Chains A and B, each alone.
Chain A
Amino acid sequence: MAKITDNTRNEVKETVYSFFIEECEVDASALNDQTNIIRDMDGDSLMFLELIEIFKKKYQLNIELKTIGKYVVKHPAETVGELIDMTMLIIEHENRIVNLE
C-alpha cells in the first residue's frame, strides 16, 4: 500500500492536470477541478486507464484494472476534481476500493 503524505494530493493533482493539458491539448488556464472530462475535453476511458497505469507505477500500487473498473462503473468520475478524489481513494485502498460503498 502506498504511503499517503500531505503532498500526495498535490502530486496527484499535478500529474492529472499535466496529463490533460498534454493529451487534450487544452490551455492550463482553461482547466480546473470542475472541468468535465468527457464533455469539455472529449476525454475517454483510454485516458483514465493510462492515468491509472501511471499512478500504479508511481506509487507501486497493488491494483488490477478490472477490479478498479468495477468501482469506476458504479462511481464514474465526471470532472477533473472527481478524478483526483477517485485516484486518492485508489491509492489509499488499492483493490479493496471495490468494498467501498
Chain B
Amino acid sequence: MSANRNVTKVGIIGSGKLGADIFYYLLPFNFQLVWKCIDDEEAEKCKVAFQKKLNRQMKCGVIDETTYNAIQQLVYINASNDSLAGCNLIIEAIWEDELLKKELFAAILPFVEDECIIASNTSSINPSKLIVSDKIKSKFVGLHFFYPTALKNIVEIIRTDDTSKETMDTVLDFCKTIQKEVLVLDEANSFILNKLFLEVQNEACDMVSEEILSYRHIDELVDKNLFPGGVFSFFDHVGNDIMLASVRNYAMQSSEPDKYESMIALLEDMCAKNLLGIKTKTGFYDYNDHDAKENFRFETEPANLILEGMLTCLKLAYIFKAMEIVDEGVCSKEMLEYAAKEYTGADKGPFEIAAEMNILY
C-alpha cells in the first residue's frame, strides 16, 4: 500500500481507545506517523506497547524484517507539540470535551504548518465549535472513525461552512487511500449515524423510565431484531459518562432538545452513582461475575403482547429517523442502509426492516 499523494505525514493526538485504534489502523499504509500522547509517561507506555506488538508480529511472521525496520523509521511516539511539525494531516482523538479540544488546538497551532489539515475525531461536537483561529478555518474538518476502525468500513466527514474544497478533496483522497467508505455531511446533519441510533436509544430509555420494560428485555429485543449489541449493553461498553456527554451535545443540536430528557436523566443518574459501565465493572449490568447480570430486574416477565408492541415502537423509531434523513437529502437510501449495516454489523438496515413490515418507502 502506498502513501497518499498529498498526505504523507499524519499526526494522531490521543492515546485512548480510539486514538490507539486509529494509530494501529494507519500503520500498514506507509504514512509517517506521529502519535502524540498527553504526557511523557503515557508516551512511554505507548512506545513499550507498540514495540511489544511489533516484535511479536515479526516473531509470528506477520511482518518481515524489512517491514519491521521500515515501520520503526516511520513512527514517532512522544508527548511534545512540536513533533507535529511537518504533518499534512492531524487527527485529534482526545476526550469528548469541547474546552479540552480547543485548548489542545490552541497549544499545537504554533507548531503546525499553514497547509496542514486538522481533523477532529469528535463524535458529537460540530467541528466549527472547535476552531480556535481564523488561520485554520478552511483546513478544519470533522473525521469521525467508528470503533474498531479495522472492522468498520465507514467514516463520517463533517465539513463546516468554511472547509475548503481543497481540504475536502485531500481528506476524501486520504479516506480512499486508507480504504474507507465516506459519508460526507454538513454540520446541520452531523454525526448522522449516531443520531439514527439515538432515536432507538431514546425510545428504549423512555420505556425504562416508564417501567414498561427492563434493560435486559430491551437489549434482547434490539439485539435479536434490530442490531447486535442492544442499547444498554452498548452504553456500558462505550461508557455511560461518554454517552452522557455525547447525548447532551446531540440534544443541543436538535430542534426538539426536550425529547431526550429521560435519556439524559437516566445517564446522569448512572454517572452520579459511578455506574459507568465495563470500566467500573458495573453500569446497567453488573460485570463482577463471569456472566453480566442486570442491575435492575422486573419481578415478572412482560407479556408477549407488550414485547411485540415495544419492538414495533423501537423499529418505527429507527425506520422513521432513517426516512427523515433521506427525505432531508443528507444521503441516499442505499448509502444509509449500507452505512447502518456497516456500523452495527447487522444483516438488515432500517429500510429492509421497513420492507419486512410492509412499510413502503
> Which residues of B are found within 8 Å of A74, using beta-carbon distances?
228, 345
Q: Is the CB of B61 within 8 A of A58?
A: yes
Which chain A residues (40-85) contact chain B, with CB distance < 8 Å?
44-46, 49-50, 53-54, 56-58, 65-66, 68-70, 72-74, 79
- The CA of A54 and the CA of B59, in the complex, are separated in Å by 10
Residue B84 lies at the interface, judged by CB distance under 8 Å to chain A: no
Query: Given A23-B52, A69-B345, A46–B24 Cβ distance below 8 Å?
Result: yes
CB distance from A11 to the nearest CB of B (A): 12
Partner-binding segment picked from B143-151, B165-173, B257-265: B143-151
Q: How far is the CB of B291 from chain A (nearest CB, A)?
A: 9
* Nearest neighbor of B28 in chain A, beta-carbon distance: A53
With both beta carbons as reference points, the residue of chain A lying nearest to B49 in the complex is identified as: A23
B57 and A50 contacting across the interface, CB-CB below 8 Å: yes
Which residues from B are CB-within-8-Å of A49? 24, 148, 150-151
Contact with A along B45-69 (1 / 0, CB 8 A): 0000000110011001110000000
Closest chain A residue, CB of each to CB of B227: A73
B53 to chain A: closest residue by CB: A50
Within 8 A of A (CB), among B262-306: 278, 281, 287, 290
Interface size, B (range): 20 to 34
Known pairs A45-B147, A57-B61, A58-B61; A73 contacts B56 (CB<8 A)? no
> How far does the Cβ of B130 sit from chain A's closest Cβ, in whole Å?
27
Q: From residue 233 to 250 of chain B, which have CB atoms closer than 8 A to chain A?
A: none
Q: Is the CB of B148 within 8 A of A46?
A: yes
Question: Which of A22, A36, A57, A65 lies in contact with B290, CB distance below 8 A?
Answer: A36
Chain A interfacial residues counted at CB < 8 A = 27
**Interface residue? B17 (CB, 8 A):** yes
Instruction: Determine whether B186 belongs to the interface, using a CB cutoff of 8 Å to chain A.
Output: no
Which chain A positions have C-beta within 8 A of B83? Answer: none
Q: Say whether A38 faces chain B, with CB atoms less than 8 Å apart.
A: yes
Q: How far is the CA of A74 from the CA of B224 in the complex (A)?
A: 10
Q: How far is the CA of A34 from the CA of B289 in the complex (A)?
A: 11
Known interface pairs A45-B147, A45-B151, A66-B151; A22-B52 also in contact (CB < 8 Å): yes
What are 27 A-B contacts with C-beta separation under 8 Å?
A: A19-B56, A22-B52, A22-B56, A23-B52, A34-B290, A36-B290, A38-B278, A39-B278, A45-B150, A45-B151, A46-B20, A46-B21, A49-B150, A53-B57, A54-B56, A54-B57, A54-B62, A57-B60, A58-B61, A68-B151, A69-B148, A69-B151, A69-B152, A73-B151, A73-B345, A74-B228, A79-B290
Q: A54-B60, A69-B151 are in contact. List 16 more A-B contacts (CB 8 A).
A: A15-B60, A23-B52, A23-B53, A36-B290, A44-B17, A50-B57, A54-B56, A54-B62, A57-B60, A57-B61, A57-B62, A58-B60, A66-B151, A72-B151, A73-B344, A79-B290
